[in-house]
Amino acid sequence: MGETEKRTEMKEGLNRQELFALHAHYESVVKDMLDFCYQYLNFYTGFLTAILAATLTGLLSIKHGDLRALALLLGPLLTIVFARIGYSNVTVFYRRYIEAWVVTVNLEAMLGIRYAESIEMGAYTPAYVSGSGGFLPVIERAPIKKILDTAKSEKWDAEKVVREVAKTGDTLANARNTFLSFGLIGFILSAFIGLSVVF
């Protein structure tokens, strides 16, 4: 095989069927990563709630001035530590979810399904045409849409899109607020435990 033939073969790229196969794969990755993200969020939320409930139960059964209450400080300490670990785990899977989501956006644009500049629908006409001129609705929250529009106009690379969307995404923001709340409760509970020992 000559050098010209090799170059021609390399330029052919992926065909439509291979793009659909990739799209199906990455759609399953999107689902899996988001499932993992919520599983970790649910696990740590339940775990932290159990630690706090046990600590509160112990605090309510201790009399004022009892030095055994100091042992209860382990509860708030574990809450703060596991809130940090939980948020880190959720962040990993959320970032992987956003990476796979950006790949599906790219594949859908390449296939002319969604996110494309103009979509050829042939003889088929959808009952409800989306705002992008296609047949699948594209509904993004205003901050995410702004990022995607800016990324398109400024020609960002996919990695930058992932970083910016991950910063703005709902799931990670909600997870951050949840774990910060647990950390704050841990600090407040520590203060109550300290006061119960002193007074």
Identify the band that residue 148 occupies on the pLDDT scale cut at 50, 70 and 90.
confident
- Phi, psi dihedral angles at 136 (to 5 degrees): -105, 130
CB 119 within 8 A of CB 133: yes
For the stretch 3-39, pLDDT in tens is 555 444 545 677 888 989 999 999 999 999 999 999 9
- Residue 98's CB is within 10 A of a number of other CB atoms, namely 25
Based on DSSP, count helices (H) and strands (E) in the chain, helices before strands: 6, 0
For the stretch 102-124, pLDDT in tens is 999 889 888 887 776 666 666 66
pTM: 0.76
Question: Taking the domains of the chain in order of start, what are their residue ranges?
Answer: 16-113+171-198
Identify the band that residue 133 occupies on the pLDDT scale cut at 50, 70 and 90.
low
CB 14 within 8 A of CB 107: no
Residue 122 DSSP label: T
Nearest by Cα to 55 from 35, 79, 33, 72: 72
